[in-house]
Every structure is written in C-alpha cells, then in structure tokens.
Structure 1
Amino acid sequence: MSLDHERYVELVLRCVESVPRGRVTTYGAIAEVVGAVVGGGGPRLVGTVMAHHGGPVPWWRVVRADGSLPPSHQGEARQAYLEEGTALRPSGNVDLRAAFWRPPPREPRQT
C-alpha cells in the first residue's frame, strides 16, 4: 500500500493547526490520527513533513514523546511557550501531563 503523500502532508499540517494555544501534541499522536485516515506513516514521517512543510503552522506545538524539541528549535519554541502560557518543566521541556492535547480521531477516507 502506498501513502498518498500530498494527502498525508495536508492532514498533518491541518492537525498541527488545530492544536490550541498553550497546548502541545506529539509526533506519535499526530501519526496515529493521520495514519488511521491514510493507512500508514509514523512519528518519523510526521517529523519529515514538519521539517519540509511545517514553517507556516505552529510547529512548536509538536514535540517529542518526552516533551522536547530538537536543540536547534528550543530557543524560538521556548519564547512561543512563554507567550502562550504552555506548562514547562524545570528542564525546559514541555510538561506533557499539563499541556498535552490529543488530536481528535478523523474519519477514515472513503475509497
């Protein structure tokens, strides 16, 4: 089975756009929701989509499973977290217990 890449990108970006201010989700949570619609993909594919297409969306609201971002993005993301009131841990990572937002399930695509 082959993923419809354009559809996957569209759904990932739409999912990221729906994350409320002050909240975050994970690459894995997005992969779970989007993968149910398009039939595949995982956290790494979501990361690839974000790396290539995520500039226009609130990318800082998507974090690793431990609440961190790649080091190259931490400074800019931290500023956004502070502006949005996102709960942070003393380590600087997002406090996932307080800030995690689970993307709602989407209906599978009709074929």
Structure 2
Amino acid sequence: MADKSPVERILAAIRAIPRGQVAGYGEVAHRAGLPGRARLAAKVLSENTDPKLPWHRVLRSDGRIALPEGSQGYREQCQRLRAEGVMVVKGRVRGLKAARTMDEQVWGPPG
C-alpha cells in the first residue's frame, strides 16, 4: 500500500471495512498506514464522489455518527447501517467495536 497516495490508501481502508462492521476515522487512518491522520480520513470522506464507497461504516471514535443529527446524510447513514444489521440508537452504534487490525478482524483479538 506504500506506493499509493494517502487518499488512495484511505479509500482502500474504507472499502476493506466488512459489511455490518464499523471503524472510526482514526482507525481508518491507522489501517491506511497513516496513524494520527483522522482528520485527513474525514476530509477524504467529505470529498468522496464514489457512490459505491461504504462511507456509512466510518464513525467518530466514540461510535457516534459525525453528521449533524437530523440531516439527510445522518438519516441515510443510520438507514444504511441498520440495513447491514448494525444497531444505531440516538446516533450511536451499539454492540460493535472496530477491530484494531485486519488480523484481529479475521482471527479475533489477541490473548
């Protein structure tokens, strides 16, 4: 992934989030090899024009939807997450915690 631009790496990390799972902006940046670049991940998402990008799977680190409550984007994100079986209560995802790494996602947490 090192030969790709930071934007391409972030988009690839977002595309890798499995259906029914979520990740925070910081985790997306970390998975893209850009630790500490959560704001860049948010900027890339805000400028996205790819209708197939699973943008709705990216949340704040505390599990909240970042879009303004009641906005069209907020409602769409809630709807898309619920359609994937994700529980959303008052704009916050319940019962899911993003895996730190792809290995953890596949094999489970260490320990």
Normalising by structure 2, what TM-score? 0.72
- Extract unaligned runs of 5+ from structure 2: 104-111
Matched, 1:93 2:89: no
SS of equivalent residue, structure 2 residue 5: helix
Identity of aligned residues (%): 33
Q: CA deviation at 1:68?
A: 1.7
3-state SS, counterpart of residue 94 of structure 1: strand
Corresponding residue for residue 10 of structure 1: 8
Match of 2:55 among 59, 66, 80: 59
Deviations 1:1-52 (A, max 9, x none): xxx9x7111111111111111110010111223244xxx6611111001111
**Structure 2 counterpart SS, 1:67:** coil
- May I ask how many residue pairs the two structures share in their alignment? 96
Query: What residue in structure 2 maps to residue 108 of structure 1?
Result: none
Aligned to 1:48: 43
RMSD: 2.4
Q: Which runs of 4+ in 1 moved over 6 A?
A: none
Closer/same/farther in 2, CA of residues 100 and 81 from structure 1, 3 Å limit: same
Change (3 A) 1:54 1:25: farther
> Which residue type is aligned with residue 43 of structure 2?
T
For residues 6 and 49 of structure 2, the distance between their equivalents in structure 1, rounded to whole angstroms, comes to: 13
Q: Which amino acid aligns with 2:102?
A: P
Determine which structure has greater relative contact order: mean sequence separation of CA pairs < 8 Å that are 6+ residues apart, divided by chain length.
1
Q: CA deviation at 1:67?
A: 1.3
- SS of the equivalent of 1:19 reads coil
TM-score by length of 1: 0.72
